[in-house]
Amino acid sequence: MTHLLTRISIIAALAVAGPAFAQDTTTPQTDAPQTEAPAPADPGLAMGETVTDGPQAGQTYVREVSGDWSVECLKVEEGEEPCQIFQTLTDGEGNQVANMRIFKLPAGGQAEAGALVAVPLETLLTAQLTITVDGAQPKRYPFSVCDRQGCYARIGLTGEDIASYKRGASATVTLVPFVAPDERVEVTLSLSGFTAGYDKVTVPTE
C-alpha cells in the first residue's frame, strides 16, 4: 500500500591555457629574453563546482506548509509531481515520537488513501497502533515491518476516515513501549490544515 516517492543545471566551465613557446636550436638569439615553461597547476587551487538552485529530479522537497502538515513532493523532469502530506508527532517535551505520511490511492479500492506511520524500535509491536479522532471510536492497526530506523504501520483510510480527519481538530496516536507494556504513550496528531493539504495530494497514475 506504500506509495514510494522514488522519481532531477547551470554548468560552469573554467579553461586555463598558456602560450606555446618554441625554441630555434639552430640559430639561438642571445639577446632575446629568457622564457620558462608554464608552472604546473597548483593542486591546492579550488576549481569550483556546479551550483544548482532548488530540488533536482528524483529528490523530495517540501512544496508548502498547510497548518501543521507539510506537503512533500517528488521533483520530476516533466509531468505532475507526486505529492503526499507529512507531520511529525512529538511528546510534551518536543521529542519526536512518531511521524505520519498520508497519500491518495487510485479510485475503486476500499481505501481512499494510505498512510505510513513510523514509530521507534522500542515499541511493543503486538500491542499495535491505535488512532482516535476527536475522542471517537478508536481504530487499531498492526505494524508491518521494522528496519534500523524504526517500525512502520501501513494503514488504509476509508472515505469516512478521511471525512473525520477533515472535520476533526486532532487525533490521538497511541503506542505501547516494549520495556513498559503496562504503559501507553499518547501523542497528538494535529488536524489543523489537513483539508487544504490533503487537497494538494496527487493520485498516483501508475
51, with CB counted inside 10 A (0-12, 13-18, 19+), is exposed
Amino acid 8: pLDDT: 28
Amino acid 23: pLDDT: 34
Mean pLDDT value of segment 17-29: 35
Amino acid 135: pLDDT: 87
Position 203 pLDDT exceeds 90: no
The model's pLDDT over 90-132, given as tens digits with 9 standing for 90+, comes to 998 889 999 999 999 998 899 999 999 999 999 999 999 999 9
Of the pLDDT bands very low, low, confident and very high (cuts 50, 70, 90), residue 38 is: low
Distance between CA atoms of 158 and 109, rounded to whole angstroms? 9
Q: Which of 57-71, 136-150, 165-179 has the lowest mean pLDDT?
A: 57-71
Domains, the chain: 1-206 (2.60.40.1880)
- Global confidence as pTM: 0.72
Amino acid 47: pLDDT: 74
Amino acid 26: pLDDT: 39
Position 64 pLDDT exceeds 90: yes
Position 201 pLDDT exceeds 50: yes
Of 129, 127, 131, 186, which Cα lies nearest the Cα of 161? Answer: 131
Of the pLDDT bands very low, low, confident and very high (cuts 50, 70, 90), residue 40 is: low
Residues 6 or more apart in contact with residue 193 via CB below 8 angstroms: 65, 66, 67, 68, 69
